[in-house]
Structure 1
Amino acid sequence: MTQDFHDLSLDTVIRQRIKGLRLAKGWSLDALAARCFLSPSTLSRIETGHRRIALDQLVPLAKALGTTLDQLVESSEDDDVVIRPEPEHQRGVTTWLLSREHNGTTVAKMRITPERSQDDAALSVHPGREWFTVLSGSVRLVLGERAILVHEGQAAEFSTMVPHHIGAHEGPVEILTIFDHGGEKAHLHSHERA
């Protein structure tokens, strides 16, 4: 019988994280035990729940597994995993934020119409990099003095220190994009400054 994740105690979740991280690295019990100065039998009993986990064991375990103590012991129920994006409308652009900011990046879906391409052709520059893939339609990507067509199923990645503009080519286009913090501020919040 499987147990629903919501019913798992934090202690059980921590044990699963330790074992999962160990297995993801391809390490045996002996390999992890040597890195965190525990015996393999102690580590085995910790993973299986036959031994209590002591704080002085968690710190070296987290370090050996390449994570932090906070990440190892964080509650599994602190955030809702389902994101319910609300569309934000600007002239010629509708944006749905599909992620919470994580490690300085945000994922968004954008629908761009030719209206934006004609009325908002100013090139922007900001620190960082941008990446997008075209879900439908074609993008006219302007990078400096070059204009590049990016079609459905293709992706583009570029330095945002190059003056750039993303517009629709011959009809609406939908893209999935990843912004770093600078890109999010420049592209998603630019209307707040106006």
Structure 2
Amino acid sequence: MTQDSELDVLVRTRIRGLRVAKGWSLDELAARCFLSPSTLSRIETGHRRISLDQLSVIARALGTTIDQLVEPPGDEDVVIRPHRDPARGVTTWMLSADPGVTVAKMRITRPARQGVDELKVHPGTDWFTVLSGTLTLLLGERTILVETGQAAQFSTMVPHAFGAHGGPVEILGILDHDGQRTHLRP
């Protein structure tokens, strides 16, 4: 009897796809996850139900996680839509779903403001590269212009702010949790 659940089909397809992508035979994957080749074959074809402990060792052997094997196939995360904040002059495209580190593309139209109230301090490190335009980075007492193709990294414990210089600027940034909360939230 075969399993008809869409999730079962998805998981079986992903297991087989990952095995084939690695160039492994059923025997090779079976040896890596301590299952018999016939058991693994029946799992891939839907003639055997996958237990949680089997799924765990198969995922580990394939270099993935159970979460990745069972994640829904929806296309809602394929197209990344911009989030606009006109008051701050920032449009953001969130490029990562990792809760620990955020990768974001940002289009900044507002110039950097020199006021003390504009400079932020928070734990962590910010890193960005300028995709187009020129970015003004206010870092403590310094004003640094970062141009297209250049990158910057700095401790966010130094008071800082950034903005467009001479027109819109687009950057690709990597932020930790504190950086995301400070730079990507109104």
What TM-score range do you get, normalising by the shorter chain? 0.7 to 0.9
Aligned counterparts, 1:1-194, within 5 A: 9-22=6-19, 27-47=24-44, 49=45, 51-55=47-51, 56-77=53-74, 79-91=76-88, 93-99=89-95, 101-106=97-102, 107-114=104-111, 116-118=112-114, 122-189=118-185, 191=186
Normalising by structure 2, we get a TM-score of 0.74
Residues 126-160 of structure 1: CA deviation (Å, up to 9, x unaligned): 12222222222111223344443221122323332
Q: CA deviation at 1:50?
A: 6.0
Q: 1:64 to 1:166 in 2, by over 3 A?
A: same
The 3 A distance-change label for structure 1 pair 77 and 174 is closer
> Which whole-Å deviations, capped at 9, do the CAs of 1:68-115 have from their partners, x for residues lacking one?
434322332384532332311224x2222434643333324231332x
Cα distance in structure 1, aligned partners of 2:117 and 2:147: 19
- Give the count of matched residue pairs: 180
Unpaired runs of 5+ in structure 1? 1-7
Q: Secondary structure at the match of 1:117?
A: coil
Q: Secondary structure at the match of 1:90?
A: coil
Structure 2: which 5+ runs fail to align?
none
**Counterpart amino acid of residue 149 in structure 1:** L
RMSD: 3.2
Deviation at 1:38?
0.8
Shift of 1:14: 0.9
